[in-house]
Amino acid sequence: MEQGINASHSLTFGIESFPMSEYYLQSLFLRMTGAAEQKMKCILWQMATDDYQYRNKYLNYQGLGECSTYSSKNTVFKDLVTQITNIKPNFDIQSIWDDYVCDPAVVAQERSKWEKKERESRQKQIDSIIKKRIDKGNPMTQDEIDKMTIGIMNRPLNEDNFNNHLSANKRSSRVAQIVEEVQLLSVNTSFEAWRNVDLLNYQKRCQKMIKGSDVATKNKDGVNLLNGNMVKLYNDLVYLQRNRIAHNTVSYQQNLPALESLSSEDYYLHNYFFRFAIILIVDEVFMRLYKAYLLAIKDRMYN
């Protein structure tokens, strides 16, 4: 994206540059999606090179194609996590954000919030035990309550839990940073002149829809590249637009997008700044996860 913006500096901001704006933005968008797809294939082949059993699985994969769909990218993501876990069984997906440097004041603030949450959780545990004894008709004496409270409240805090909490915060901070960088890179450029309303919508409305908690997630269903509304945003804003441009369907399907889409309240989401942000966030996840994979491979070689 920086290369595309730097290349546009030779253009004027005048109306004479507007006719080429869509062509230019489409070209940059295709370069970004194409680079992401090539990364997926390189990662797949690297895993197949390092693990011959995985190579057989990869060669028999059906439906990955150009690795342009969300499902294909999620498959690569899951396979990469599995390969790391095979080497390091205790690998946690949150750890890919550990090297992101937080402001010490932020770390202190997060620790304070986490400790408060831990104390509240322990107090709920105490209240639950007291209530159960009352329900059984055998209420605790005040002395028993005091001893139990001291025992539970004075237990050492689990630093691993705090590190997981901090990693989640680092993830949100890095995602927010990427979202903001897209805006900062675009200000005072031809991009802003061409798509001023889109940039304003991105700044005031679109950014709020990208949540760090929906990126590189782990839940009862396992690990996923994206979660929640981010999956739909990727499919609707990135994948469909990629197909329209890559296959040049807009040349002979001039009725698209349909009037229903144009009149939708959510049509403001269909702007290149939002698309760029989603692509960059997905790319950030894969760069960090692949780095963790290379470290795992290195550890296996020397241990």
Predicted pLDDT of residue 255: 57
pLDDT of res. 146: 92
How would residue 288 be classed by pLDDT, with cut points 50, 70 and 90? Answer: very high
**How far from the centroid of its chain's Cα atoms is residue 103's Cα?**
21
Distance CA 275, CA 167 (A): 26
Give the rounded percent of residues in the chain with a pLDDT score beyond 90.
58
Closest CA to 272 of 187, 191, 207, 211: 191
SS3 176: helix
Instruction: Please give the pLDDT value at position 250.
Output: 65
| Model pLDDT, residue 169 | 86
Q: Identify whether the C-beta of residue 279 lies closer than 8 Å to the C-beta of residue 33.
A: yes
Mean pLDDT value of segment 160-186? 89
DSSP state of 69: S
User: Residue 252's pLDDT is what?
Assistant: 64
Is 187 a residue whose pLDDT tops 80?
A: yes
Pairwise CA distance, residues 272 & 265, whole Å:
17
Instruction: Give the list of residues 6+ apart from residue 262 with CB closer than 8 angstroms, or none.
Output: none
Instruction: Output the CA–CA distances (angstroms, integers) from residue 119 to 131, 153, 209, in the order listed.
Output: 18, 7, 31
| Cα gap 218→291, rounded to integer Å | 19
Report the predicted TM-score, pTM, of the whole model to 2 decimal places: 0.84
Residue 219 pLDDT > 70, yes or no? yes
- Chain centroid to CA 97: 11
The pLDDT of residue 251 is: 65
* Residues forming a β-bridge with 222: 219
pLDDT, tens only, 111-137: 888 889 899 999 999 999 999 999 999
pLDDT above 60 (res 170):
yes
